[in-house]
Chains A and B, each alone.
Chain A
Amino acid sequence: MRPSDLLVSTPAGLYCPPADVHIDPVRPVARALITHGHSDHARSGHGAVLATAETLAIMAVRYGEDFAGSTQAADLGKPIDLGGVTATFHPAGHVLGSAQIAVESGGLRIVASGDYKRARDPTCRPFEPVPCDVFITEATFGLPVFRHPDTRAEVDKLLASVRLFPERCHIVGAYALGKAQRLMSLLREAGWDGPIHIHGALEKLTAFYEASGVPLGPVVKTAGLPKAALAGAIVICPPGQIQDLWSRRFPDPVTAFASGWMRVRARARQRGVELPLVVSDHADWNDLIATIGETGAGEVWVTHGQEDALVHWCITHGIRARPLHLVGYGDEGEAEPGDEPAPTPATPETGT
């Protein structure tokens, strides 16, 4: 069996013809395997969905209980027979419940890793490398300029700023699923034991993390609190809110943003961020290439992100590689920032 007989890219996403299932389809399909709960990977409206119990629960939180015709929970490490093809879920270390999916038939194994990271994350199970023939990888941070620092140093940066400006409110943009809760957990590890304030949009997912056994300490919604009560507070909100009307209700805010994109100054400036925190839920360059090596794969398919550089690296290191050109990914999680659509054309000429 050739790899392309087992998995092919289609407009709806990766498709496995012998089992008639899609992985992370971007359009409604009859049978879907879902790697994790970010909305660009986990969409509603499929017939049957197979995913980890946490991912199924996250989808229910986000889309309601009837997000799919039927659901089946996959246990990590347990092969599931899909009719001549087996699928096995393995932890991906990306967010709570995230998994890589290994599909196997006739001695050929392909691993679709979804989104993943190798850095420590107290809120989810760590990534486990799975030996395979073909490794399908993301490349969100697939350029050698992306080498994520130790998250402790980034969290210390935030806490140092809170100490230096105790009368100001620190507003931290963080993706609602995963990043926000990881940040809370890291703050607790760093010794921040006061309340962590959150935007209402984070409430349900944060409660779900707590209910799944991830302790996050006292978490308080900002709604209804007087302005003065938020001096010296740390407020976590979805990234889109840090410079929106919502942020105006806080005392002299310092705007922070926790994302791998904050490594690049122009990106941080574009968002009007004053305190960039380089905290990412995706593999950085070093981890991408280390992981490719650990899987022992002779061939690599690159799904989304900075494909060119990673494909180039594979080829120059004797590994067959090609981009899959899948569309529709990178819309949530660490989608490239920029809240206004068009790039800047010539700005109007003006006086001094």
Chain B
Amino acid sequence: MNRFAALLDRLAYESGRNAKLRLLTDYFRSTPDPERGFALAATAGSLVFANAKPGLIRALIAERTDPVLFGLSYDYVGDLSETVALMWPTPAGPGPGHNQPPPTLAEVVERLQNVGKSELPGLLARWLDGLDETGRWALLKLITGSLRIGVSARLAKSAVAALGPLQPDDIEEVWHGLEAPYEALFAWAEGHGPRPEADDPAPFRPPMLAHPIEDGDFDALDPSAMTAEWKWDGIRVQAVAGRRPDGRFVSRLYSRTGDDISQSFPDLADALQMDAAIDGELLILREGRVQSFNVLQQRLNRQSVSPKMLVDYPAHIRAYDLLHLDGEDLRPLPFRERRARLEAFVAGLAEPRIDVSPLIGFGSWDELAAARADPGSAGAGEDAGAVEGCMIKRADSPYVPGRPKGLWYKWKHDPFVIDAVLMYAQRGHGKRSSFYSDFTFGVWTGEEGPGDLVPVGKAYFGFTDAELQELDRFVRRNTVNRFGPVREVVHAPDQGLVLEVAFEGIARSARHKSGVAMRFPRVSRIRWDKPPGEADRLPTLERLIARHETGQARSA
């Protein structure tokens, strides 16, 4: 447990993905089974046990420390688990954890799965006696369910793949049939065991992803060999169901990254009475009309799903592809054949919550460009506002996990663009910690004349390294105020810096002072030439929202 804790400690401070990957792989390589398997489960978020409440931890520390000293310490450290980990009295005797060997992670996980409520305090105290400061911190974070180390399940699986010649997608294919401590998985990854057999009737299959299309690509592509369909502004999901040995259906809804999100969508899970795997888009439909991403977001944000939520936010799957049907793997088939099987299958299912995303008819790239510019007249009808662009797929493409070249393309809308004024800057993290790289920008209030600047968003990418150096220099030379890590930068009509900001979407937001919230804002250009007084104004953004809501083409 102390070694696992040291890994978590290091991961918690490390910001680079590659560095995290190397730390994890190094740990998996040098740690025996079953310890590493439980570590994998903990980092991939697949450990399930009853959590301890903060009250229990407070009670344990209160029995052991002076309340005044605890109070002063807690005030200083600011985090309960960390305070307790640091000031837990070390048992008397030679060396830390005298008489009390530190528990292994395997022991912690196994005992927590079946410990009685009355036994838990004693057990926890014994473990805390045996661990060092970092070990205590990790244990307390683990059992209070507040372990945040910035590692995704995907990253943890990639680290396993990196033990040998496997790819992360190979791990994904077998993952959902396996459980901690994953001994067979590690043996396979290290090349001394067979591929573990997945007997899950509803496994996740790593999705096929598209490349953004570049202007030059069109010349090389033959329109007659390609198909096109709308790219809907929802979340990409995989709906999978299959029969268990006893004949009952198991159904699951997976996110693009393989997270099981079925619990948030019981209405859909119940509708999946089939032996099939559908690749599609999760949307909210009201009276047959696709709602904006914002509406979907409101449902996604809820922890528990109330009956009212199911009625007010009815979930829907718009199917793009069919990967598996009645025991047959369809992925090697060409897209046009899979598509025909999909249409027949969905028609036969006759489930109002599932439909097929329509194809767009076109004979030339110009025709497709016209359709994309006005989806409403090209088949998307009233749902045009929920179209984010289109997908272009080779009609003969097999379904290849990952992002293979030359088969699928996405042609997204041109982003929104506005000119905004730099107002505040903050240092970045990791490699960027010496740069002011997080920029808060604002626009002017009022239709014209002297207004106030109101912050409308924050951007921390989109610029080159050379541009970042220039921005950093500008911030350092033009600071008018400091608030902790934040610098306020000069911003007046005739003084300051204009940033051209591109973003993917915009919506009203009560949480923001300006009343608007942007999706994926980024700095697309630095307008050294433009006086801040000529930057955009809030009413312009409000008009963009109105246009976005009615589904018209986007540009400021």
Contact A145 B455 (CB under 8 A): no
Contact A273 B13 (CB under 8 A): yes
Contact A255 B433 (CB under 8 A): yes
Return the chain B residue nearest A273 by Cβ.
Answer: B13
In the complex where A244-B434, A264-B77, A266-B79 touch, is A313 in contact with B455 (Cβ < 8 A)?
Answer: no
Within the complex, the shortest CB–CB distance from B92 to chain A, in Å, comes to: 12
Q: Which residues of B contact A247 (CB under 8 A)?
A: 434
Question: Within 8 Å of chain A (Cβ to Cβ): is B440?
Answer: yes
Question: Within 8 Å of chain A (Cβ to Cβ): is B65?
Answer: yes
Q: When chains A and B are docked, how far (Å) is the Cα of A352 from the Cα of B301?
A: 15
Contact B512 A349 (CB under 8 A): yes
Contact A351 B78 (CB under 8 A): no
Question: Within 8 Å of chain B (Cβ to Cβ): is A272?
Answer: yes
Within the complex, the shortest CB–CB distance from A188 to chain B, in Å, comes to: 24
Q: Which residues of A contact B68 (CB under 8 A)?
A: 309, 312
Residues of B contacting A: mostly: mixed
Within the complex, the shortest CB–CB distance from A292 to chain B, in Å, comes to: 15
Chain B contact residue count (CB 8 A cutoff) = 55
Q: Which residues of A contact B78 (CB under 8 A)?
A: 266
Q: Which residues of B contact A252 (CB under 8 A)?
A: 431
Q: Which of B434, B440, B457, B516 contacts A243 (CB 8 A)?
A: B434
Q: Which of B26, B424, B433, B458 contacts A352 (CB 8 A)?
A: B458
Within the complex, the shortest CB–CB distance from B299 to chain A, in Å, comes to: 18
Q: Which residues of A contact B486 (CB under 8 A)?
A: 344, 347-348
Return the chain B residue nearest A338 by Cβ.
Answer: B484
Within the complex, the shortest CB–CB distance from A112 to chain B, in Å, comes to: 25
Q: When chains A and B are docked, how far (Å) is the Cα of A275 from the Cα of B424?
A: 28
Looking at chain A, what size class is its interface with the partner chain? Answer: 35 or more
Q: Mark A312-352, 1 if CB is under 8 A from B, else 0.
A: 11001000000000000000000000001111110111111
Question: Within 8 Å of chain A (Cβ to Cβ): is B427?
Answer: yes
Return the chain B residue nearest A244 by Cβ.
Answer: B434
Query: What are 30 A-to-B residue pairs whose CB atoms are below 8 Å?
Result: A144-B73, A144-B87, A145-B76, A147-B133, A161-B10, A165-B19, A243-B434, A244-B434, A245-B434, A247-B434, A252-B431, A263-B86, A264-B82, A306-B72, A309-B72, A312-B66, A340-B482, A340-B485, A342-B484, A344-B483, A344-B486, A347-B424, A348-B424, A348-B488, A350-B440, A350-B456, A351-B457, A351-B512, A352-B458, A352-B521
Question: Within 8 Å of chain A (Cβ to Cβ): is B401?
Answer: no
Most buried by A among B15, B69, B482: B69
Within the complex, the shortest CB–CB distance from A87 to chain B, in Å, comes to: 34
Question: Within 8 Å of chain B (Cβ to Cβ): is A294?
Answer: no
Question: Within 8 Å of chain A (Cβ to Cβ): is B514?
Answer: yes
Q: When chains A and B are docked, how far (Å) is the Cα of A145 from the Cα of B69?
A: 9
A interface residues, Cβ below 8 angstroms from B? 143-147, 149, 157, 161, 164-165, 243-245, 247-248, 252-253, 255, 263-266, 268-269, 272-276, 306, 308-309, 312-313, 316, 340-345, 347-352
Q: Which of A248, A343, A351 contacts B434 (CB 8 A)?
A: A248
Contact A340 B455 (CB under 8 A): no
Contact A352 B73 (CB under 8 A): no
Question: Within 8 Å of chain A (Cβ to Cβ): is B23?
Answer: yes
Within the complex, the shortest CB–CB distance from A253 to chain B, in Å, comes to: 8
Question: Within 8 Å of chain A (Cβ to Cβ): is B105?
Answer: no
Q: When chains A and B are docked, how far (Å) is the Cα of A34 from the Cα of B512?
A: 56
Q: When chains A and B are docked, how far (Å) is the Cα of A306 from the Cα of B23?
A: 36
Q: Which of A146, A244, A351 contacts B455 (CB 8 A)?
A: A351
Within the complex, the shortest CB–CB distance from B478 to chain A, in Å, comes to: 16
Return the chain A residue nearest B429 by Cβ.
Answer: A272
Contact A342 B483 (CB under 8 A): yes
Q: When chains A and B are docked, how far (Å) is the Cα of A341 from the Cα of B90?
A: 37
11 other A-B residue contacts (CB within 8 Å) besides A263-B86, A265-B82: A143-B73, A143-B87, A145-B73, A244-B434, A248-B434, A274-B13, A274-B430, A316-B66, A351-B456, A351-B518, A352-B457
Q: Mark B69-94, 1 if CB is under 8 A from A, else 0.
A: 10011001111001100110010000
Question: In chain B between 499 and 525, which residues have their CB closer than 8 angstroms to a CB of chain A?
Answer: 509, 512-514, 516-519, 521
Contact A347 B73 (CB under 8 A): no
Contact A145 B427 (CB under 8 A): no
